[in-house]
Structure 1
Amino acid sequence: MTNHLYRSNTDRMLLGVCGGLAKRYAFDATLLRVVLAVGCLFSAGTLLLIYLICAAVMPKERLYADSYGMGGAGWNHWGSGPAAGPYGGAPHQAPTTDAMMNDLEKAQLRKELDHYRAKVAQYEKGE
């Protein structure tokens, strides 16, 4: 159990409030989300207003921070610039999983769109 209450960056569905509460009080975040959703239905949206107020008031969780108070500069906190690659050049940056998933989703949506366009064209021809 942590001492501070933050909005979660890693366990979030909307704004990270339920993930932060779950992390702080050692609950299951999914259970807390279900209770919030059911509670919103029965409270005529009052819990939704409370959720939004919590999201506005609670600070975001830091992604990482070092123990020396350097502001989370990462492992290269001695240098002033970004970490260099093995031969002194710019570091290699692999595409993130999110970017790759977005590309896959776009490709699949394009494929579906082309398929439905072909169906509509076939329908318009009267076949």
Structure 2
Amino acid sequence: MFTLEQTNEVHDRLGSASTLKDYLLALRALGVLASDSYLTDGHTVHRGADGHEVATEPTHEVFSVATEADKAAMAEQLRLHETGVTSYVEMSRGLAEAGVEKWIFDTGALTIAYYDRAGNVLLSEQI
């Protein structure tokens, strides 16, 4: 079973856009099947086999997630972050305002999927 300390170490070492695939592969090697990151406060729940979970502490102030998703606004927030215009916290605030509740990394499929409050997939991308 993986620990919070192990997942935090992997995040500290590989948790950036340029090393995202290596990050997911390292989490998978620990036994993490998926990681749910919540835009409300930036905490992440790493999920493994047999219901094993560890959760990180919040990483930023609490953001309200819009009840209606706006895919165009979400795409713009992702573009701004990918081009270095916004910080992680600014992107998180913008995604919450666009109705994104969380994203989930699937370490087996090597995907990231963005979800609204109703649990609908707004966008899924291969890493």
* Greater Rg over alpha carbons, structure: 1
TM-score by length of 2: 0.21
Q: Which has the higher helix share?
A: 1
